[in-house]
Structure 1
Amino acid sequence: MAHGEIPMTREEIKRKSICLTKGNFGKPDLNQVEVEGRSLMIKDVGRKKFFLRWTLGLWLIHKEWKIYSRLTGIKGIPQPVERVDRFSFAMEFIPGRPILRGESLPPSFFHELERVLGDIHERGIVHMDLRHKGNILVSEKGEPYLIDFNSSFAFKEKGFLRRYLFPLLRRVDDGGLLKLKKRIAPALLTSEELAFLKRFERLRKLWIFN
């Protein structure tokens, strides 16, 4: 099945899918569905109440679809498949689980996660919610996958915001990743990373991303 080819209607997807997570407020529901032997994740706000569906829900779906499309081809990011309709889209389903506090992960896991983060930054995307363990999956092969771009921002290649705001938010991402690393595997933090975290914690009190 190629990109952009889901031979199922919304009603068929609704009947055959399994709801994994109900999104709070206007956030999308996460549904898993099998299509021609392939597991897909459907992100959907179509079942939200009318006002939320046509305002916040519609905006979040459109924004996240554009971000996933911009990140196509990056290893460690689920790949977009198709925009089902204005309220939903299909993406690659990654069998895995969230990181667990205190679990034993090799240094290579965090090195690979840093590579994924660097790759999305190269595309002008900041994630903005890396402190949340549920946004990083450990795949069945033990590889990191970065998910849930509801809180993310996309920047154009040039312009005032890309020049001045993007570097700041990129450091917020870096600090969020190190805070997660500190909670999960503190022994893996280098002295340079600890020094960065200390500076980051002082600066974080001055902005809204707490």
Structure 2
Amino acid sequence: MPHDRTDLQALRGLTRAQLHAHARRYYKTGGRTEPEVALVVYGDAQAVFKDYARTPGWFGRIIAPVLIWREASALRRLAGITGIPKLYRQLDARGVLIEYLPATPWPQAKPPEIAYERLDALVAAMHARGVAHCDLRAPSNMLVSDDGVPYIVDFVARVCRGRAWNLPWNWVFAQFVGADESALAKLRVRFAPSLATGADRALLAEQGLVERVARAIGERTREIVRFFVRSG
């Protein structure tokens, strides 16, 4: 294990060019509105490198740094929670290196019942730390390991709790927490109907204004970004 830690320490210190040189494969190859997302392997260490450095236009100059900041700031706030990827390093305004999770997206997996209980606990811990994900209705943002350990990824759409005195914003934050909980209800109804309760189905039937806004944040982030890119 000391060898693994040494490799990880070395991997975290690689330059952008070196990280790309050690990319084992690319989950995304980049584009006008997408980062390059690579699995980087250095010895026995692995990490995921999300990089907008070669993204052109408005997106690369203005939008991408905001998205990197949003992701990195959420991961810093959630540091230490099992099930949230570790932030290894923010290279600069356009690149971030995070923990590789050996897990499968929820829609492709067949998680055991305990995984749903663990996911509920993970989301509760995330909320207690002051972060609402806002895009849990996309099941691919939830992963699960072979032994039923859940993970949550992609925090670009997140909303964070404000300071104690900011009561109006914290009321808004609470509504987005409710939207995350509604997404978990939908997950049970869709993928584990035997676990879904009447309360789950009633929650899905409500579909309040904030619930629709939360869904729109998750589903429309890329469309809004593309609008700015086209306008540039």
* TM value normalised by structure 1: 0.88
Q: Match of 1:181?
A: 188
Cα RMSD of the aligned pairs, angstroms, is: 2.3
1:182-201 to structure 2, matched below 5 A, reads 182-199=189-206, 201=207
Q: CA 1:35–1:84 in 2, change beyond 3 Å: closer, same or farther? A: farther
2:212 & 2:152 partners in 1: Cα distance? 24
Q: CA 1:150–1:22 in 2, change beyond 3 Å: closer, same or farther? A: farther
- How far residue 60 of structure 1 moved from its aligned partner, in angstroms, is 0.1
> Helix, strand or coil for the counterpart of 2:213?
coil
The answer to whether residue 149 in structure 2 is matched with residue 143 in structure 1 is yes
> Helix, strand or coil for the counterpart of 2:194?
helix
Q: CA 1:198–1:149 in 2, change beyond 3 Å: closer, same or farther? A: same
Deviations 1:119-171 (A, max 9, x none): 11111111011111210111233211111111111222321344310111110
Q: CA 1:35–1:87 in 2, change beyond 3 Å: closer, same or farther? A: same
Q: Match of 1:166?
A: 173
Q: Do the aligned residues in 2 keep the contact of 1:26 with 1:52 (CA within 8 Å)?
A: yes
Structure 1: any 5+ residue segments left out of the alignment?
Answer: none
Q: Match of 1:120?
A: 126
Q: Match of 1:60?
A: 67
Q: Do the aligned residues in 2 keep the contact of 1:98 with 1:133 (CA within 8 Å)?
A: yes
As a proportion of its length, which structure holds more helix?
A: 2
Q: Do the aligned residues in 2 keep the contact of 1:33 with 1:41 (CA within 8 Å)?
A: yes
Structure 2: any 5+ residue segments left out of the alignment?
Answer: 216-232
Identity over aligned pairs, percent: 25
* TM value normalised by structure 2: 0.80
1:66 & 1:205 partners in 2: Cα distance? 23
Q: Do the aligned residues in 2 keep the contact of 1:155 with 1:161 (CA within 8 Å)?
A: no
- How far residue 62 of structure 1 moved from its aligned partner, in angstroms, is 1.1
Name which of 103, 108, 116 aligns with 1:96.
103
What is the number of residues matched between the two proteins?
A: 207
